[in-house]
Amino acid sequence: MSPAVDVTRNGSTAIGFIAVLLWATLALFTAASGQVPPFQLAALSFAIGGGLGVFTWVFRPSGIRSLKQPGAVWVLGVVGLFGYHFAYFTALRNAPPVEAGLIAYLWPLLIVLFSALLPGERLRWFHVVGALLGLFGAVLIVTNGGQVQFRSEYSFGYAMALVCALTWSGYSVLSRRFASVPTDVVIGYCLVSAVLAGIAHLWLEDTVWPATRTEWMATVGLGLGPVGLAFYCWDHGVKHGDIQILGAGSYSAPLLSTLLLLLAGYAEFTWAIALACLLITVGALIAARDMIIKSTRV
């Protein structure tokens, strides 16, 4: 691989990691958005995220042509974005959030493993080790160092959490197959997902609007960041960057999210958070071994 290609790949990986940083704000914005039900919040956020993309077409009208794509592209994108959220919220309705969250957070590890099926990708031992260390760190974050009990009465919820993990990892890896499809199509994914989330809200939930200016700001923040710009950055990253590093590095999202909650006063610092920080950081460095070695040689 030439140095020029390496720079392009590394730059795309960095853009993809912006999505991870934005997803770290998801819990904070969600907590600050008040009592808005999950599907209603998703509908509002997807509409804002899609609207952000539509606004950019004012300055580059040719971007709207990207929506003309084969059906397979649309199925992948809508199932990826809306399907992930539908499975996740369904899992939380039918299983304790700690256990459901742990199963759902298998997606970074699955991305690393599934990437071996992509042309031109090689799964190396340090990719797997890095992702596993990140997973152990995520376990500590989600459980706060406590014990986890999986019970048979929550089997459906656990199954939906696994569907959630498989959906996002599958979407991320299969997106590489459509690397030539412009990221503008994600605008369409967001808008369709907003409509579907709105339908799910009307079917399953009672409507509760944000009650204060702060709650509205948090809702808008969700749409602009973790449920908006993040999807555009992730699409570019998984299509053109190092998908294995992105997968392993994604375990930093729950850690950064917890640190933000600490700063905002929604959580307290514990030994589990400190150990998780070490595990996730070391795991990301191990997974990025090749990139780091190549950078030091330039």
DSSP 185-224: HHHHHHHHHHHHHHHHHHHH-------SHHHHHHHHHHHH
Task: Please tell me the total count of domains within the chain.
Answer: 1
Which amino acid belongs to residue 238?
A: V
Write down the pTM of the prediction.
0.87
**Residue among 10, 22, 77 at smallest CA distance from 229:** 22
Positive or negative, the Cα torsion across 18, 88, 278, 116?
negative
54-85 exposure pattern, b = at least 16 Cβ within 10 A, e = fewer:
eeeeeeeeebeebeebeeebeebbbbbbbbbb
Q: What is the pLDDT of residue 2?
A: 39
Rounded Cα distance, 250 and 272, in Å: 18
**Nearest of 39, 41, 144, 158 to residue 92 by alpha carbon:** 158
Query: What's residue 296's pLDDT?
Result: 45
DSSP 118-143: STT----HHHHHHHHHHHHHHHHHHH
Q: Where are the alpha helices (DSSP H) in the chain?
A: 3-23, 26-32, 38-56, 71-78, 84-94, 97-104, 107-114, 125-143, 155-174, 185-204, 213-224, 230-240, 243-249, 252-264, 271-287, 289-297
Mean pLDDT by 10 residues, the chain (298 residues): 56 93 87 91 96 92 91 96 93 84 85 84 79 82 72 88 93 93 95 96 95 94 93 95 87 81 74 79 74 51
Q: How far apart are CA 71 and CA 75, in angstroms?
A: 6
Q: CA–CA separation, 179 vs 183, rounded Å?
A: 9
Phi and psi, residue 121, nearest 5°: -105, 140
Work out the number of other CB atoms within 10 angstroms of the CB of residue 219. 24
| Diameter over CA atoms, the chain | 58
Provide the residue range defining the domain that includes 114.
Answer: 3-297
CA dist 61 and 58 (Å) reads: 6
Dihedral of CA 241/247/249/253: which sign?
positive
pLDDT value at position 292?
A: 56
